[in-house]
Amino acid sequence: MQSHANHPDNSTTINLSAIATAVNPQRLENDLATVARFGGRTDGGVTRLALDNNDVRARLWLIEQASTLGAKASVDAIGNVFLDVPGSDPRLSPVVTGSHLDSQPTGGKYDGALGVLAGLEALRALKQAGFTPRRSLSLVSWTNEEGARFSPGTSGSAVFCDVRSLDETRQVEDSDGISLGSALDTCLAELDAAGVPRRPLATPMHAFLELHIEQGPILERDGVSVGVVEGIQGVSWFEVTVSGSANHAGTTPRAMRRDALEGACALATALREATRDSEDRVRFTIGKFTVSPGSVNTIPDQVTFSIDLRHPEAATLKNLEATFSKLTQRSWAGCHATLIPLSRVEPVAFPATLTTLLDGTANELGLTAPRLVSGAFHDAIHLAKHCPTAMLFVPCRDGLSHHPDEHIELANAVVGTQLLAASLASLAQ
């Protein structure tokens, strides 16, 4: 293992070996277990929805950790929680790491939480190794990344980066009619009572690094502990409605039917076939399918289904969207179809300056860290518009995520945290 890295901007030598060694596996494991109890389920998973009581308790626990770091905790108007460790030059913008603490309704222990807790352990390791940062270091837990309670997700990072407005985001309601703003105000009141000061949105950042579980099978398949993420693929969401005519199931001959379900199935098959590619890079998913009127003896007159379309190249997404538009203009089993775009997020390529730094730091630590592209959304997709941004992935068993059986090996989490800590040190100097 190479133990030192030289940085010509201030001729500082960083002992990467000491920083890596200072990462404490037991401490990281204990933190993961502690946070998993906030909303812990009997099946081993967690239910910690954005701004619910479990999420608030997890935030308060995180804030309590600030004192051991010599950090200052603060919260912004959308509820993002920051722990700031001061650098020797307060004029410089900070280096930031973090992820999110909210989960899916029946989620796992590591999605999001690992990135927050690895960031916490990285800051502890840097302090233990005697590292004094030139730039301030910050840990952040973003609000409502998952979007399981309040849709769409990545609310905290999107509002922070001015991708979405705070006022509009506050108006979003959950399935019980509770607005995000109302839940947020309850959360902020508890943080106010704990003495946590407010901070402004959109504060400058020198760089942002997010560590996350891969949520895919590549790293496990390749037998490596950590990967450097080159970017996040783009996504387009659509709603398709196929309209036919309701009639009696027992009396209407086939030739006289305008069966919306028959048309929808044919259209869905055509759309899926249009996305086949030899490299298997297109991701096409129909996740919702609603049949109306929903009677066992009535021919359906309307079917609505969703499309989640993803690809790392914007041009490919655009071409597929044009193909989808043409297909929905045809008649399907005598039925009319409409295609409504719901949202579009462009692919993000992380800057070579950061990915090269991560590559070099991994090499100095003697780690194999292959490049890969994220297929899932992360807060980093918005931060990339705000400051230089990159990500690290660690493998999860069978690529399984958003499930109580989500699992990572502690040894891999430690390696990822070591690379994160060393990279933060390099950036902070």
* Confidence (pLDDT) at 345: 86
If you search the block for the tokens 């005598």, which residue do you land on?
A: 334
Label residue 5 by pLDDT band (50, 70, 90). low
Helical H segments across 253-349, by residue range? 260-274, 314-328
**196 with 278, same domain?**
no
**99 with 117, same domain?**
yes
Residue 9 has pLDDT above 50, yes or no: no
**219 with 303, same domain?**
no
Domain endpoint, select from 345, 368, 384: 345
Pairing of strands 336-345, 234-243: antiparallel
Domain endpoint, select from 310, 330, 345: 345
Per-residue pLDDT of 81-91, as tens digits, reads 999 999 999 99
Tell which residue, 390, 373, 417, has the closest CA to residue 96.
390
Q: Where are the extended beta strands (E) located within 226-374?
A: 227-232, 234-243, 283-285, 289-292, 302-311, 336-345, 348-349, 371-374
**Cβ-contact 260, 243 below 8 angstroms:** yes
What is the rounded average pLDDT of the residues 15-36?
97
* Confidence (pLDDT) at 8: 38
**Cβ-contact 31, 120 below 8 angstroms:** yes
Residues in the chain: 429
Q: What is the CATH number of the domain that holds 129?
A: 3.40.630.10
Q: What is the CATH number of the domain that holds 286?
A: 3.30.70.360
Average pLDDT, the chain: 96
Per-residue pLDDT of 268-323, as tens digits, reads 999 999 999 999 999 999 999 999 999 999 999 999 999 999 999 999 999 999 99
**289 with 403, same domain?**
no
Q: What backbone phi and psi angles, to 5 degrees, belong to 65?
A: -75, -10
Q: Rounded distance, CA 4 to CA 131, Å?
A: 13
* Confidence (pLDDT) at 4: 55
Range of the domain at 309: 234-345
Q: Rounded distance, CA 375 to CA 386, Å?
A: 21
Per-residue pLDDT of 170-221, as tens digits, reads 999 999 999 999 999 999 999 999 999 999 999 999 999 999 999 999 999 9
Residue 105 has pLDDT above 70, yes or no: yes
Tell which residue, 232, 133, 212, 134, has the closest CA to residue 417.
212
What is the SS3 assignment for 309? strand
* Confidence (pLDDT) at 256: 96
**131 with 276, same domain?**
no
If you search the block for the tokens 């069978």, which residue do you land on?
A: 398
If you search the block for the tokens 């399981």, which residue do you land on?
A: 148
Number of domains the chain contains: 2
Residue 238 has pLDDT above 60, yes or no: yes
**228 with 163, same domain?**
yes
Domain endpoint, select from 316, 345, 374: 345
**356 with 374, same domain?**
yes
**154 with 252, same domain?**
no
**139 with 284, same domain?**
no
Q: What backbone phi and psi angles, to 5 degrees, belong to 418?
A: -65, -45
**Cβ-contact 414, 233 below 8 angstroms:** no
CA-to-CA separations, 403 to 96, 150, 335, in angstroms, rounded: 28, 19, 38
**260 with 378, same domain?**
no
Q: What is the CB neighbour count within 10 angstroms for residue 31?
A: 22
Q: Rounded distance, CA 39 to CA 57, Å?
A: 9
**90 with 166, same domain?**
yes
**294 with 419, same domain?**
no
Residue 342 has pLDDT above 70, yes or no: yes
